[in-house]
Amino acid sequence: MTDTSKKTRDVTIAKAKGRPMLTWVGKRPLSRVTAYPAQAIERFELPSPASGRGAGGEGCDWSDWPKNLPHGGLLYHGDNKDVLAHLLANGFRGKVKLIYIDPPFDSGADYVRKVQLRGAKGTVKIDGEDYTLGEQVQYGDIWANDNYLQFMYERLLLLKSLLAEEGSIYLHCDWNRSHYLRLIMDEIFSPDKCRNEIIWKRTSARSDSNFFNHIHDTLLFYSNGDNPCFNELYTPYEQEYIDRYFSYKESDGRRYATIDATQAGLRNGPSGTSWKGFNPASKGNHWKVTPDELDRLDGLGKIYWPEKEDGWPRLKQYLDETKGRAIQTIWSDLKAVNSQAEERTDYPTQKPEALLERVISASTKPGDVVLDAFVGSGTAMTVAQRLGRRWIGCDINKGAIQTTAKRLQGVMQEQREALEAKGKQGKLVAEEAAGPAPCQFGFSTWRVNDYDLQIQHNEAVELACQHLGVTRTRTDAFFDGTQGGRLVKIVPFNHPLTPLDLEALRAELKTRPDEERDVLMVSLGIQQDARQWVEDYNRNRPVNKLHLIELRTDRKYGGIIRHEPLTADVSVSREGDKLVVDIRDVVSPTIIQRLNLEQGVFRAQIADWRAVVDCVLIDTRHDGRVFNVALSDVPERKQDLVQGRYELPAPPTGSTVAVKIIDMLGEELIIQAPC
Ligand SMILES: C[S@@+](CC[C@H](N)C(=O)[O-])C[C@H]1O[C@@H](n2cnc3c(N)ncnc32)[C@H](O)[C@@H]1O
């Protein structure tokens, strides 16, 4: 199951047919995309609880699931354009019941995750003041307008093809781009499929505005077809409303409101006739129920008779029989994830579970497939898992994939423990134990193309800019910043500077005839013909002279590109029928380097290696390709440390044991040992 298909394939995409349409420079339809194969990189599977509905997911119908994929959650690391094309080519066309996406907002910001060492302050001794490793750039959100719109257009076209006829999509955005995105959604899904524009009041105030504060996000909710799945949801009434509206009490304290027993319109049948001297036709009305039913209700004491002599009888509406207030389009009761929140992962832009709970509960049934193509910290997947839905997630950022995987392992573990606890009490009913029955107790992580390079580029640009003293320019789609009066362009570090990069620069400068500044190009390496190109270009040039920094060889600036990988001292042995894995030391030169940068002059010493380790995973029968998680040590709280020593049932002799260690910056190390 490692490769869902060995070959690339062309996937056709349905044309957008709605009106009106937004246009932008370079708008292109997406009629075909190439679907690449995916490689499985990790599999996590908890043994199913001994018995009970939902144990092992048998409560779910998997018959619509592609045959060559394992039952369970699917988490893809890659650009979602590639991942969505892969899903379309591999059996998911028209299968997804709910899509929630929370894409970058085109806000001009780089999103950073605060990274800290593990352990309570004072328990892990570092020769320094604090534990912070600074901030790690998770993803860039800097776009030229047209690029952003084309980016979203392509993803939304692909997403529509994955959506089931009765499926829905929620696009989470903010005021920056919601007006453009709404038009793109109209074009792709058609305006009559726009079901709601939901306003989520995210915060009460922000201090960074000279005008009215922006305190809300927008969720654009569209359905694919005419009959989307929709479950009406309710919130409890506020006390003030209860006091005002349900102001009557029975002698036992039961609260009720009184409502008109008639409604507008004359009727010929029984409901139009007089009852106990009151004729509804006299006010152009009829009874809401028949006089017989009114008699029955009166017998039960469910008719309210006003003290006034000529007061009309009214129906009693009991507070404990109402569902509450039907949720409307302004959501102001859901708090953003704050620094104290238990669910906080420290991933930037993490959305609250309560918000996703509302979206998923409204638009799916248990067992349905939920897709989030920008998972971030995995909030949508976490809630889908808790609510007994199947799920597929994807992100381009490795930190997002690691955060989501860790979170899902925790949720599955919790669900399993809850089911078992109930089982021990002799009444294992999944719904009672842990909400709706979980569809799965496992998931696999896949890679479509190699996006590690992409991630490194984000961080590398940040590091290079810091190192070279470049002031970042957030609004320029081409140049990364300025340095000493020169424009700076950082060439992606996955290739040396080539004449193609230089031609792109020349073309860009042609669009800026008034630009007179010189340009500094920073690259990891320089192809020989690129040097010649620059020499020719600079000859007799009064403005826009080109300067180069080749980081690989530059004496002054070369230091930043050295990378010393994570290392560990691990022993793997057999003790009787047990396998013992003992981690004795883990050293992360990058973390030490970060601490030194953060702390200033002194060198950081980390006395307990466990402070630098985020989690440990063990595969007892490693096949060299997919990492099958037999044990995961993922401490829930930041102040807790991994155990470091593990005892597991020994695998058959001759197996390969693999130990995966992930440090607090997300760097991974896999150690393999024969056993
Ligand atoms: C606003 S965050 C999502 C936050 C998420 N809803 C949560 O609750 O944590 C947007 C995510 O989109 C990811 N992203 C940006 N461009 C992407 C692409 N082309 N393919 C896949 N993911 C992408 C970013 O890495 C980031 O994790």
**Spacing, Cα 419 to ligand 1 middle (Å):** 32
Note the pLDDT tens digit of each residue in 471-510.
Answer: 988 778 789 899 989 999 998 776 788 888 899 999 999 9
Q: What percent of the chain has pLDDT over 90?
A: 54
Of the residues 139, 355, 371, which should be mutated to test ligand 1's pocket, given the most ligand atoms within 8 Å of the CB?
139
> Residues 380, 497: one domain?
no
> Residues 97, 215: one domain?
yes
Determine the pLDDT at residue 128: 34
Give bridge partners of residue 627 from the DSSP assignment. Answer: 42
What is the position in ligand 1's atom list of the atom closest to the CA of 79? 20
> Residues 526, 573: one domain?
no
For residue 133, the surrounding DSSP H or E stretch is strand 132-141
Is 349 a pocket residue for ligand 1 (Cβ < 6 Å)?
yes
> Residues 342, 218: one domain?
yes
Note the pLDDT tens digit of each residue in 37-78.
Answer: 888 889 998 877 654 444 345 568 999 999 999 999 999 998
Task: For residue 11, count CB atoms less than 10 angstroms from its CB and return exposed for 0-12, middle for 13-18, buried for 19 or more.
Answer: buried
CATH number of the domain that 438 lies in?
Answer: 3.40.50.150
Determine the pLDDT at residue 589: 83
Query: Residue 137: inside a domain, yes or no?
Result: no
Determine the pLDDT at residue 125: 40
Query: Residue 138: inside a domain, yes or no?
Result: no
Query: Residue 129: inside a domain, yes or no?
Result: no
Last residue of a domain, one of 509, 528, 560: 560
> Residues 422, 467: one domain?
no
**Spacing, Cα 236 to ligand 1 middle (Å):** 33
> Cα–chain-centroid distance for residue 85?
19
The rounded distance, in Å, linking the Cα atoms of 572 and 619 is 12
Is 139 a pocket residue for ligand 1 (Cβ < 6 Å)?
yes
Query: Residue 115: inside a domain, yes or no?
Result: no
Is 350 a pocket residue for ligand 1 (Cβ < 6 Å)?
yes
What is the position in ligand 1's atom list of the atom closest to the CA of 397? 25
Query: Residue 625: inside a domain, yes or no?
Result: yes
Query: Residue 125: inside a domain, yes or no?
Result: no
Instruction: Read off the pLDDT band of 428 (50, 70, 90).
Output: very low
Query: Residue 269: inside a domain, yes or no?
Result: yes
Note the pLDDT tens digit of each residue in 536-566.
Answer: 999 988 899 999 998 877 777 766 656 678 8
Determine the pLDDT at residue 98: 98
The rounded distance, in Å, linking the Cα atoms of 643 and 582 is 9
Reply yes or no on whether the pLDDT at 653 is more than 60: yes
Note the pLDDT tens digit of each residue in 453-467.
Answer: 555 666 777 778 888
Sequence-ordered list of residues with C-beta below 8 angstroms from that of 416, at least 6 positions apart, any chain:
46, 48, 49, 441
> Residues 226, 162: one domain?
yes
Determine the pLDDT at residue 114: 62
> Cα–chain-centroid distance for residue 28?
27
Is 395 a pocket residue for ligand 1 (Cβ < 6 Å)?
yes
Structure tokens at 670: 């896999």
Whole-Å CA distances, 303 to 274, 317, 320: 16, 9, 17
> Residues 555, 567: one domain?
no
Query: Residue 16: inside a domain, yes or no?
Result: yes
For residue 653, the surrounding DSSP H or E stretch is none
Reported pTM: 0.74
User: Whose CA is closest to 419, among 430, 410, 427?
Assistant: 430
**Spacing, Cα 369 to ligand 1 middle (Å):** 19
> Residues 589, 543: one domain?
no
CATH number of the domain that 627 lies in?
Answer: 2.60.40
Mean pLDDT throughout 392-405?
89
Q: What is the dihedral of CA 414, 419, 424, 425, to 10 degrees?
A: 110
Give bridge partners of residue 644 from the DSSP assignment. Answer: none
Instruction: Read off the pLDDT band of 402 (50, 70, 90).
Output: confident
Is 374 a pocket residue for ligand 1 (Cβ < 6 Å)?
yes
Ligand 1, atom 26, lies closest to the CA of 376
Ligand 1, atom 17, lies closest to the CA of 396
Note the pLDDT tens digit of each residue in 298-342.
Answer: 999 999 999 887 789 999 999 999 999 999 999 999 999 987 888
Structure tokens at 609: 């290696």
Dihedral sign (CA 279, 281, 282, 285) = positive
* Backbone φ and ψ of 642, nearest 5°: -65, 160
Is 550 a pocket residue for ligand 1 (Cβ < 6 Å)?
no
Domain count, the chain: 4
Using DSSP's 3-state secondary structure scheme, residue 318 falls into strand
> Residues 484, 627: one domain?
no
The rounded distance, in Å, linking the Cα atoms of 352 and 620 is 36
Last residue of a domain, one of 291, 325, 359: 325
- Domain containing 601: what range? 563-674
User: What stretches of 15-131 adopt beta strand conformation (E)?
Assistant: 32-35, 39-45, 73-77, 96-101, 109-116
> Residues 49, 77: one domain?
yes
> Residues 95, 179: one domain?
yes
> Residues 612, 583: one domain?
yes
**Spacing, Cα 635 to ligand 1 middle (Å):** 24
Last residue of a domain, one of 406, 427, 447: 447
Q: How many CA atoms lie within 13 A of 314 on its CB side?
A: 16
Determine the pLDDT at residue 33: 84
